[in-house]
């Protein structure tokens, strides 16, 4: 499509139609229909819409004429252009809600969103009627965040529906939502929400400052596009924002002072900032009793440790620290490794690599066969690697436990970070043994304490220590103590 210039509509219908045909050249789904109305049917009008976006069954020309008559009109012989201009120019009550646009930039934007525009000869304004007909996915339970107990309501690709579902959960005037257009070819509608009086004003100001810098920077079609534009450390493997497809998670996050970001056409809600301990939380933590929630949360911490370090621990102990292994187990390991042509490090890298490959294949394949292929593939390849003498049974068990532990992490982007970090940790373990693992942990810790998300330290509330926020990090306290209370208004 040609570049849309900022220009005003012409009073000549022919000039307006020529402009449309020029700008939307080769757009075969653009429908233009000429109309005649008024005395002797001598007055002209035209309706324009995209057949792929708008509902073609509604006659907006007839609706506009019907609004000006108190009886069922026939061909519209009593309606004049002046009457139409006066009525809609004065914002008269209309059966079909219409907006008046005098610039082509606004008319084009609405038409590309599924509106029908009505052009009247002799009038330099367009009547724009909402006629969007695109089907959207119905509200259902999110497949990436299932729960045993709790609501089953998930987001869809409609920005209005997602915001509406959040408003149904937080029925307060303190809930604020603001929207803007991203610009570019996509011109996506972006929205962000927060609870006034709960969110930190400095955090909100920093978020809005970074969001302003996103306008006009490329084409944004998903919330993840904005992540790369506003995150503090783009080269860090650790995610600095949390994603959810659950409106209850978005609502509870705002109750704790977070900001949520949504985009039209995206079913993912980005929660800002996303701190380390936030990424280890699940919505079901708050639908279970305190003791059960804390037990499950600590299972995730153990899974995090296993996912990042179990292969490197096996390499270090089996290569450098065999005295730490009981004699019977050591003999079993030595016996199982007999005939293996590779060292423990090369063996671990090969097995972990192919296990990661199987996981990706299971995700990309159709759902009906993906899980079967990944499970059967892991069994077949593991058994074949043992029989071929490429890997030992102990290494297959270690890699399988590592993969299971990574699946226990609630956030997929955190799981990917763990999968990346385990490779350099294995290299440290193969070079320096246990000391190398400790050195790797030191580097990871130094990296984490320097990370920030929207200027907030990544390891809050541990580093720096914030006792008032510790109630929902390593452990979860009772629900009434978790929700932040609105700050009292400042005295003037």
Residues 270-296 pLDDT 10s = 999 999 999 998 888 888 888 888 999
SS3 at position 468: helix
* Long-range interactions of 13-22: CB distance < 8 A, separation 24+: 13/44, 13/45, 13/46, 13/119, 13/120, 13/121, 13/122, 16/46, 16/119, 17/46, 17/119, 19/104, 20/48
Q: What percent of the chain has pLDDT over 70?
A: 88
Q: Taking CA 367 as the corner, what is the angle to CA 363 and CA 371, rounded to the nearest 5 degrees?
A: 65
Q: Could you tell me if residue 461 is inside a domain? A: no
User: Between the CA atoms of 317, 322, 328 and 329, what dihedral angle is there, to the nearest 10 degrees?
Assistant: 10
> For the purposes of burial, counting CB atoms within 10 Å of the CB of 252, is it exposed (0-12), middle (13-18) or buried (19 or more)?
buried
> CB under 8 Å to 303, separation ≥6 — which residues?
405, 406, 408, 409
Q: Looking at the structure, do residues 245 and 339 belong to the same domain, yes or no?
A: no
Q: What is the pLDDT of residue 72?
A: 45
Q: Could you tell me if residue 143 is inside a domain? A: no
Helix (H) or strand (E) holding 47, with range, is: strand 43-50
Return left, alpha or beta for 265; rule: phi > 0 is left, psi -120 to 50 is alpha, else beta: left
Give the pTM.
0.82
Q: Looking at the structure, do residues 234 and 314 belong to the same domain, yes or no?
A: no
Q: Looking at the structure, do residues 325 and 423 belong to the same domain, yes or no?
A: yes
Q: Could you tell me if residue 137 is inside a domain? A: no
Q: Looking at the structure, do residues 51 and 103 belong to the same domain, yes or no?
A: yes
Q: What is the pLDDT of residue 1?
A: 41
Low-confidence residues of the chain, pLDDT below 50?
Answer: 1-5, 71-73, 491-492
Q: Looking at the structure, do residues 341 and 268 belong to the same domain, yes or no?
A: no
CA–CA dist 116, 12 (Å, integer)? 19
Q: Looking at the structure, do residues 441 and 314 belong to the same domain, yes or no?
A: yes
Q: Looking at the structure, do residues 395 and 433 belong to the same domain, yes or no?
A: yes
- Determine how β-strand 126-130 pairs with β-strand 98-101: antiparallel
Question: Considering 130, 147, 176, which residue would you say is the last residue of a domain?
Answer: 130
| Residues 128-155: tens digit of each pLDDT | 888 876 667 788 888 888 888 888 888 9
Q: Could you tell me if residue 459 is inside a domain? A: no
Provide the residue range defining the domain that includes 390.
288-450
Q: Looking at the structure, do residues 57 and 100 belong to the same domain, yes or no?
A: yes
Find, among 118, 64, 130, 73, the residue nearest to 92 by Cα.
64
Q: What is the pLDDT of residue 489?
A: 52
Q: Could you tell me if residue 465 is inside a domain? A: no
> 133 forms bridges with which residues in the sheet?
none
CA–CA dist 477, 270 (Å, integer)? 25
Q: Could you tell me if residue 86 is inside a domain? A: yes
| Residues 190-224: tens digit of each pLDDT | 999 999 989 999 999 999 999 887 776 667 888 88
Q: What is the pLDDT of residue 83?
A: 82
End-to-end, the C-alpha distance of the chain in Å comes to: 54
Q: Looking at the structure, do residues 19 and 97 belong to the same domain, yes or no?
A: yes
Q: Looking at the structure, do residues 429 and 321 belong to the same domain, yes or no?
A: yes
Q: What is the pLDDT of residue 220?
A: 85
Structure tokens at 329: 């187990």
Evaluate the CA torsion angle 423, 392, 399, 475 in order and state its sign.
Answer: negative
Q: Looking at the structure, do residues 84 and 229 belong to the same domain, yes or no?
A: no
Q: What is the pLDDT of residue 492?
A: 42
Q: Looking at the structure, do residues 346 and 446 belong to the same domain, yes or no?
A: yes
Domain count of the fold of the chain = 3
Q: What is the pLDDT of residue 71?
A: 46
Q: What is the pLDDT of residue 486?
A: 60
């Amino acid at each position: 499509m040609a570049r849309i210039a900022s220009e005003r509509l012409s009073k000549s219908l022919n000039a307006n139609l020529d402009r449309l045909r020029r700008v939307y050249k080769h757009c075969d789904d653009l429908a233009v229909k000429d109309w005649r109305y008024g005395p002797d049917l001598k007055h002209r009008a035209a309706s324009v819409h995209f057949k792929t976006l708008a509902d073609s069954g509604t006659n907006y020309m007839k609706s506009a004429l019907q609004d000006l008559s108190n009886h069922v009109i026939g061909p519209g012989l009593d309606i004049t252009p002046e009457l139409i201009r006066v009525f809609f120019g004065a914002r008269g009550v209309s059966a079909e809600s219409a907006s008046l646009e005098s610039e082509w930039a606004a008319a084009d934007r609405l038409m590309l969103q599924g509106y029908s525009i009505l052009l009247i000869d002799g009038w330099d304004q367009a009547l724009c009627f909402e006629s969007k007909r695109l089907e959207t996915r119905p509200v259902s339970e999110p497949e990436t965040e299932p729960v045993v107990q709790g609501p089953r309501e998930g987001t869809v690709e409609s920005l209005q529906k997602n915001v509406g579902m959040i408003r149904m959960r937080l029925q307060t005037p303190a809930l604020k939502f603001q929207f803007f257009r991203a610009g570019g070819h996509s011109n996506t509608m972006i929205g962000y929400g927060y609870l006034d009086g709960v969110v930190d004003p400095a955090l909100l100001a920093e978020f809005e400052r970074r969001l302003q810098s996103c306008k006009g920077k490329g084409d944004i079609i998903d919330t993840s596009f904005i992540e790369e534009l506003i995150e503090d450390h783009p080269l860090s493997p650790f995610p600095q924002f949390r994603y959810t497809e659950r409106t209850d998670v978005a609502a509870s996050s705002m109750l704790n002072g977070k900001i949520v970001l949504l985009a039209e056409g995206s079913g993912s809600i980005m929660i800002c900032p996303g701190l380390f301990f936030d990424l280890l939380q699940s919505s079901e933590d708050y639908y279970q009793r305190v003791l059960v929630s804390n037990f499950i949360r600590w299972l995730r911490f153990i899974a995090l440790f296993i996912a990042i370090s179990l292969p490197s621990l096996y390499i270090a102990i089996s290569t450098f620290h065999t005295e730490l292994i009981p004699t019977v187990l050591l003999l079993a390991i030595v016996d199982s490794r007999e005939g293996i042509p590779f060292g423990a490090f090369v063996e671990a890298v090969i097995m972990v690599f192919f296990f990661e490959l199987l996981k990706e294949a299971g995700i990309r394949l159709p759902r009906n066969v993906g899980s079967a292929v990944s499970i059967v593939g892991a069994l077949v390849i593991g058994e074949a690697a043992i029989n071929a003498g490429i890997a030992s049974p102990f290494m297959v068990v270690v890699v399988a436990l590592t993969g299971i532990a990574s699946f226990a992490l609630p956030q997929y982007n955190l799981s990917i970070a763990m999968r990346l970090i385990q490779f350099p940790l294995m290299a440290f373990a193969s070079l320096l043994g246990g000391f190398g693992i400790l050195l790797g942990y030191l580097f990871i810790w130094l990296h984490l304490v320097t990370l920030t998300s929207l200027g907030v330290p990544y390891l809050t509330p541990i580093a720096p220590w914030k006792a008032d926020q510790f109630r929902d990090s390593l452990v979860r306290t009772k629900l009434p103590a978790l929700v932040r209370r609105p700050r009292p208004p400042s005295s003037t």
